[in-house]
Structure 1
């Protein structure tokens, strides 16, 4: 009888051991997030939004150095470096891959079809083949999609308000894969305000000064910077050539950019962290709907306006969500 009880207890312990061991393994799990940015995290405004992402991960209960590791890589504005950086991050076997902006999403998509990828954000994610639909992404990619159509319409209205006598607006582009589509939207929206969009290419940093010279020669009264990795020297050239600018990224305001109108960055980066949390808790990216921003922000830099000799109308000032003086 005693022998039979001993065998029964031993069998129970053998069955229970894997469960106990698995629980211990889960308790010791260190989650790994890859974070890829086409620009430079040495740029203070870009570092600030990265820190928003990290802070949200802490709010969600993750502690870097304890149960979370974030491996970040920056291409320093050299988009041709992104494929190698994406492969480098994939080799670290992250649980989630956060790709900032379209060029990084393209690189991440090519580097892995297995690791969940969070777009933060994507412009035209269906058209670029990142997801099958916003409601049902259907693959290993989900995240945030910017509402570029609505953004362009309001951008064109703001240009008409701040440079009422303008007829031509430069549209500054890089080799970002989404820029051709963004230009079409900008061209249509500007046309609705009786403004002509002037396509101006500047893929590399050394192309920027010639691009500004071109915009001046073509009679552009102002220019638009499409959503892209931050290039701080654009602000310098805008001041040098005395051209008012609208940026589709709020990081330019603190750098001296005249005006930006875009989805609220802090909210998007908190959402990106929340996607990571959902996936690390077992959600399938194929079933996680792509979110669109609901909060937008108009930022005005009055110091820059004064340096340009520009008097911003009350109709624009009252709409500002943030004013830099």
Structure 2
């Protein structure tokens, strides 16, 4: 099996290893895992995927849309498991959720469908906000997600502008741009986690809400999205079925059915914010 991640690879690898172990797979006995990680630099993904394909794996797990796109371009024969994709149909990875139709199947994260509700929450916490910055990267799903965010923000009377940080080292300069553009809140679109983000947001005193919920435990203010670890458990289940003979074309794409709203009150206090009681009651997890 091959695993290629866009970032945060050590954590993802461990979650997938644990899930496979629960199904009887042991890297010392009946499983070989070849692993490559881009560390947030998506331009290197084609090279990493080529290295993995040269090893002739039975199945590839590709984490996040940039890695899935690189794997798709590299092979039409080796099964690819999405873990996860933001818009698998729009990205051309599968023909439909129920009948993928090719060598790719796996998990969709539904981030695009959550944007309107996220911005409703943002409006409850920041009722007087006039402008938000939307942090994006070179992730190919981000232009469409940015359009969704702009429309959802406009519906609540807020202007939204996109700002690009292509690589992790670009994040601080991008926050300077958002501050200079008079953004009052930042909305971070889904990407493999960049751990420096919450600290940089706090440095510039910009309240930040994330699509990826793991940021809140790193000091992010708020997040709304699906349970991330569940994606990798589901990916391991796809691997198991494929190794036992199932075809990706016949395995429906799974979508999350539960979503989590998280708040970090330590960060709120550091920013001088009071979170309304109504919002606290909505939260699935409050870090105090």
Please say whether Structure 1 and Structure 2 have the same fold, judged by a TM-score greater than 0.5.
Answer: yes
After superposing on structure 2, the runs of 4+ consecutive aligned residues of structure 1 that deviate more than 6 Å are none
Q: Which has the larger radius of gyration?
A: 1
Q: Secondary structure at the match of 1:318?
A: helix
Comparing 231-240 with 202-211, which one deviates more in the overlay?
202-211
Equivalent of 1:98, from 61, 64, 69? 61
The CA deviation string for residues 55-103 of structure 1, in whole angstroms up to 9 with x for no partner, is 1111111112111122221111111111111111111111110000010
Which residue in the other structure is 2:159 paired with?
196
Q: Secondary structure at the match of 2:9?
A: coil
Q: How far did residue 205 of structure 1 move?
A: 3.0
Which residue in the other structure is 1:34 paired with?
2
Distance 2:205 2:272 in 1: 9
The CA deviation string for residues 31-74 of structure 1, in whole angstroms up to 9 with x for no partner, is xx1111111435xxxx1x43222211111111121111222211
Q: How does 1:155-304 map to 2 (within 5 A)?
A: 155-304=118-267
Which residue in the other structure is 1:143 paired with?
106
Q: How far did residue 180 of structure 1 move?
A: 0.4
Root-mean-square deviation (CA, aligned residues, Å) is: 1.3
Distance 2:13 2:189 in 1: 20
Q: How many residues align?
A: 288
Distance 1:235 1:138 in 2: 40
Distance 2:277 2:33 in 1: 44
Matched, 1:68 2:31: yes
Q: Secondary structure at the match of 2:225?
A: strand
- Ranges in structure 2 where 5+ consecutive residues have no aligned partner: none
User: Given the superposition, is the C-alpha separation of residues 50 and 320 from structure 1 closer, same or farther in structure 2, using an over 3 Å criterion?
Assistant: farther
Give TM-score scaled by structure 2 length: 0.96
Q: How does 1:306-325 map to 2 (within 5 A)?
A: 306-325=269-288
Matched, 1:109 2:109: no
- Residue 111 of structure 2 contacts residue 211 of structure 2 at CA under 8 Å; is this kept in 1? no
Q: Secondary structure at the match of 1:35?
A: strand
Which residue in the other structure is 2:42 paired with?
79
- Residue 40 of structure 1 contacts residue 75 of structure 1 at CA under 8 Å; is this kept in 2? no
Q: Secondary structure at the match of 2:238?
A: helix
Distance 1:159 1:283 in 2: 43
- Ranges in structure 1 where 5+ consecutive residues have no aligned partner: 1-32
Distance 1:63 1:152 in 2: 39
Distance 1:319 1:205 in 2: 32
Q: How far did residue 323 of structure 1 move?
A: 2.1
Give TM-score scaled by structure 1 length: 0.86
